[in-house]
């Protein structure tokens, strides 16, 4: 793994940071991005004690930022082996019913949760295909398959991401590039607290308990799969 490189979005806290830590311990070099410059700088400084790190703060929904991120990673390391599309946009908090969800907010959710992952996939795919190997992991949610009231905007975006992943896997069959969607389950994170403001979530698992599932996928040889990470087992898509 010492030669491999992972690009992780939403890497400054929560699940993204925990997976970055787990990948660093495994020996992967890292390309990291998140919106907040200060938390990302702190995360990069911590991880740099274990592995080589490139970090750029910015919005993954900004196409120019995505292009800069991939270009900088390729310039520094010469390759990207793993793309983890972890960054997500929840939308307004508290979350409104669909009848009251502004179209502008919904468009923001779709840009971050669907359009941005596809943009990054398109950027990293050519070198992955050329090498005949690569791993694309898109973080999803059970809100993408279950109809939870007030979760319509976020859930719709995850449903779109899941189907995008299925089609992508079919198109990449035989290429050596693997595609997975991973449902990390309920966790005690800042995003979940924003989704349910005022609710005590301390009983939920920490992101560090879920990160090993993403390490497992480094060795998973199968094609497309949908995983519930907190169960560490594949489930039917």
- Residues carrying an active site annotation: 154
Class of residue 186 by CB neighbours under 10 A (exposed 0-12, middle 13-18, buried 19+): middle
Full 3-state SS string of the chain: CCCCEEEEECCCCHHHHHHHHHHHHHCCEEEEEECCHHHHHHHHHHHCCCCCEEEEECCCCCHHHHHHHHHHHHHHHCCCCEEEECCCCCCCCCCCCHHHCCHHHHHHHHHHHHHHHHHHHHHHHHHHHHHCCEEEEEECCHHHCCCCCCCHHHHHHHHHHHHHHHHHHHHCCCCCEEEEEEECCCCCCHHHHHHCCCCCCCCCCCHHHCHHHHHHHHHCCCCCEEEEHHHCEEECC
Class of residue 82 by CB neighbours under 10 A (exposed 0-12, middle 13-18, buried 19+): buried
Tokens linked to 10: 């939403």
Contacts of 69 (CB under 8 A, 6+ apart): 7, 31, 33, 56, 58, 120
């Amino acid at each position: 793994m010492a030669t491999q490189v992972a690009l992780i979005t939403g890497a400054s806290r929560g699940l993204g940071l925990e997976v970055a830590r787990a990948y660093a311990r495994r020996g992967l070099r890292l390309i990291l991005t998140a919106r907040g410059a200060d938390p990302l700088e702190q995360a990069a400084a911590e991880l740099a004690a274990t592995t080589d790190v490139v970090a750029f703060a910015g919005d993954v929904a900004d196409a120019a930022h995505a292009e800069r991120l991939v270009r900088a990673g390729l310039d520094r390391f010469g390759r990207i082996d793993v793309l983890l599309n972890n960054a997500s946009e929840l939308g307004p908090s508290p979350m409104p019913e669909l009848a009251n969800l502004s179209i502008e907010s919904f468009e923001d959710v779709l840009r971050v949760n669907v359009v941005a992952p596809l943009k990054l996939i398109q950027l990293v795919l050519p070198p992955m295909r050329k090498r005949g190997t690569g791993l694309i992991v898109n973080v999803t949610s059970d809100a993408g398959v279950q109809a939870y009231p007030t979760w319509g905007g976020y859930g719709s975006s995850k449903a779109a991401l899941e189907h995008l992943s299925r089609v992508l896997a079919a198109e990449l069959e035989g290429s050596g590039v693997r595609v997975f969607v991973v449902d990390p389950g309920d966790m005690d994170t800042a995003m979940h607290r924003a989704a349910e403001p005022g609710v005590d979530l301390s009983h939920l698992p920490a992101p560090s308990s879920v990160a090993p599932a993403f390490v497992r996928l480094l060795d998973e040889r199968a094609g497309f799969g949908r995983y519930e990470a907190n169960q560490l087992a594949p489930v039917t898509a």
